[in-house]
Copies of this chain bind each other. A is one copy, B any other.
């Protein structure tokens, strides 16, 4: 997905939010916005928003001197999600089609987002997503492809959401490689977050090699790219991965909640809608 002009005011909103999480010094926060201002003319509209997001959050880190502003918030999100884990596991055990509920739960976990959705209310939002019919619903296709898949690559998104990913991976009961970001960016899951979420017990953990809040293939490691090319099913979680992979003609299923108007418009859905989208479906 390309960068839309509407993304530009949003980069400033996100930079401001992240800088405020990092420090409490108005002059320093203003200096972050000053530097993001200088970036605007360098934003090519044909690049994806996470490519610029990478620069924006790098600026936040450099100017505030805080390498991982969201570290405490990420730990809290994982803690909250782990507290829900037993009851969600019970819900799956009772379900007629546990896979369908697990997919919906994995999308529900995508509400945990300090970039596009900092005002989320976890338990309330989960219930809403669970009971909502996805606006794009390629679940049947997903189920069929999953049954035949041997090499599943699961592109993680946010910390905390990772616990919901674990539930889906446990329900799929297939060998899965779970992908984290190389370095902290927003509240995206890193290796540390995946480990805290217990994902190492159910999947092979690898880094994409990329520290954008998405999967920018041009910035990923050779090792990851080989893995990406080989996979016969790729589960892509969240907006950032969608933004960077939406044009790829690969066996990708995008699972996400559309939290911003630009992505919703790109997908042809409304803000708040959930999506299970087969990249190869017309």
- Which residues on A are within 8 Å of B, measured CB to CB? 5-6, 8-10, 12-13, 16, 20, 26, 29-30, 33-34, 36-41, 45
Contact = CB atoms under 8 A, between A and B. Distances in A.
A5 B16 contact: yes
Nearest to A31: B41
A173 B142 CA distance: 72
Contacts of A26: 5, 45
Label chain A's interface by main secondary structure: helix
- Counting every copy of the chain, the complex holds 2
B16 A30 contact: no
A12 B8 contact: yes
Given A8-B16, A8-B33, A12-B12, 11 more contacts: A5-B16, A5-B30, A5-B33, A6-B16, A8-B12, A9-B16, A26-B45, A30-B45, A33-B40, A37-B40, A38-B38
Contact of A5 (B5, B8, B29, B37): B29
Contacts of A13: 9
A9 B37 CA distance: 10
A78 to B, nearest CB: 29
A121 to B, nearest CB: 19
29 contacts: A5-B16, A5-B20, A5-B26, A5-B29, A5-B33, A6-B16, A8-B12, A8-B16, A8-B33, A9-B9, A9-B10, A9-B12, A9-B13, A9-B16, A12-B12, A30-B45, A33-B40, A34-B40, A34-B41, A36-B37, A36-B40, A37-B37, A37-B38, A37-B39, A37-B40, A37-B41, A38-B38, A38-B40, A38-B41
